[in-house]
Amino acid sequence: MNFANLLQGFVALLWVVVIVLIVLAVLRASRRQKVGAISTAILVTAISAVILTTVSAGLVFIQPEERGVVISALAPKGYREEALQPGLRWIIPYFENVVIYLISRQNYTMSISPLEGQMQGDDSVAARTSDGQEIFLDASIIYAIDPEQVVDVHIVWQNRFTDELIRPLTRGIIRDAVSQYRVEEVYSTLRAEMAETITTQLQEKMADNGLILTNFILRNITFSPEYAASVEQKQIAEQLAQQAKFVVEQRKQEAEQARQSAQGLADAVVIRAEGDAEARLIAADAESKALELIAQALADKPELLTYQYITKLAPGVQVMLVPNNTPYLLPLPTLEPTNPALPTALPTALPTAEPTTTP
């Protein structure tokens, strides 16, 4: 709560009471009534109002975000060299007064948009690049008064530092910085470097005048209509070139995929052929070894051939036909009769038929 403001309000109320009492005393006097008590009240109230007015004139309450510069008729330099700090402070009434300055952060914006900046209309910074192109820059400066240099700021600038220091200083530094870069560098590769250069120079200049630069923001860069059109055409051409390059790369990838697929099929055919050939070689080698083993077995035991012949005959063979002029190479197996048994009633002397072979 600001006690100084409360006291000033109370003093104002006392003066109103004094005026009311005076009016009442005049009315009673016009009616020939006694005004002694009212006169005493007027005197006491007026003296109290004067005293409290003097006291309230010497009390100043400084907010935490403020500093007060004391202008003094009694000081040798006409001002106190130390600024008033936050809190309830006392000055000499009627001989000193206080000028309040904010030390909190403030913002100053210069923009091409009519409603964004501190000044109405187009307030962007017009500058020319090293190759002669005109560009327009929007910028914001966030700053604060150095609490230790409030008195110096008051002496040099008073409240004019925004319009007479920050604005022209920023615009001049921006123009100087832009003139060192080509237009392509300003909006692409070296934009951050340019903003850093502006920040450094602006910070040094503002510090020399008792101000602290918190941040410099390069908000936007606008080109002339002619250059903007050429940039747009260039970007379209670059996009078309990139698209054509992408199509070429896509075709290359498709061709590579087709080549790899064909190579894979060819490799598969070769592998299959090699596998078939290897299988045939293995089978031929196995067959050759088998024949060698059979020949060796037959050489050692010729009767194995007869055994194989017999085992290959069908079990139901009863008759074999051979040419009449062909000698028997192998002994014939004994053929057993297949006739059913004769009835027991037949004579036992009946001869048994034996199978014969016809040459």
Tell me what pLDDT residue 165 has: 92
Q: 197 and 127, same structural domain?
A: yes
Q: How confident is the model at residue 188 (pLDDT cuts 50, 70, 90)?
A: confident
Q: Is the pLDDT of residue 302 over 80?
A: no
35 and 96 share a domain? yes
pLDDT for 352:
41
Identify the pLDDT of residue 169.
94
Residue 18 located in a structural domain: yes
Beta bridge partners of 108: 141
In this structure, is residue 303 part of a structural domain?
Answer: no
Residue 309 lies in a domain: no
Q: Give the pLDDT confidence score for residue 170 in this predicted structure.
A: 94
- In a shared domain, residues 115 and 182: yes
Backbone torsions φ then ψ of 60, nearest 5 degrees: -135, 130
- pLDDT tens string 95-127: 989 999 999 999 999 988 887 877 877 888 999
The whole-number pLDDT of residue 325 equals 61
More confident residue, 337 or 266: 266
pLDDT band at 318 (very low <50, low <70, confident <90, very high): low
Q: What's residue 333's pLDDT?
A: 52
Query: Cα(43)–Cα(211) distance, rounded to whole angstroms?
Result: 51
pLDDT at residue 264, rounded to an integer:
82
Is the pLDDT assigned to residue 161 strictly greater than 70? yes
Indicate whether 347 belongs to any domain: no
Q: What is the mean pLDDT of residues 282-294?
A: 81
Domain boundary among 102, 130, 146: 102
219: domain CATH number is 3.30.479.30
Q: Do 98 and 112 have their domain in common?
A: no
β-pairing, 134-145 with 106-110?
antiparallel
User: Domain check: are 64 and 129 in the same one?
Assistant: no
Does the residue 67 lie in any domain? Answer: yes
**Does the pLDDT at position 358 exceed 50?**
no
Mean pLDDT of 168-194: 90
pLDDT of amino acid 327: 56
Amino acid code (one letter) for 85: Q
Q: How many domains does the chain have?
A: 3
Instruction: Identify whether residues 170 and 278 lie together within a single domain.
Output: no
Q: Give dist(CA 150, CA 103) in Å, integer.
A: 8
pLDDT (tens digit per residue) in 43-80 = 888 898 888 888 888 888 999 999 999 999 888 888 99
- Residue 245 sits in the same domain as residue 166: no
* Domain identity same for 97 and 119: no
Q: Is the pLDDT of residue 339 over 60?
A: no
Q: Are residues 95 and 123 in the same domain?
A: no
- Does residue 143 surpass a pLDDT of 90? yes
Residues 83 and 134 placed together within one structural domain of the fold: no
Flag whether 345 is in a domain.
Answer: no
Q: What is the mean pLDDT of the chain?
A: 81
The better pLDDT of the pair 234, 182 is held by 182
Rounded Cα distance between 101 and 92, Å, is 20
d(CA 299, CA 174) in angstroms, rounded, equals 113
Categorize the per-residue pLDDT at 353 as very low, low, confident or very high, splitting at 50, 70 and 90: very low
Query: Is residue 26 included in any domain, yes or no?
Result: yes
Where in the sequence is the domain holding 27, given as residue range(s)? 3-102
- Indicate whether 357 pLDDT > 70: no
pLDDT value at residue 202 = 94
- Same domain, yes or no: 71 and 156: no
Examine the fold and report which residue of 102, 133, 158 is the final residue of a domain before the chain moves on. Answer: 102
* Same domain as 128, residue 94: no
Is 348 within the bounds of a domain? no
Asked which of 47, 68, 102 is the last residue of a domain, the reply is 102
Compare 314 and 70 and report the one with higher pLDDT.
70
- pTM, two decimals, is 0.57
CA atoms within 13 A on the CB side of 13: 6
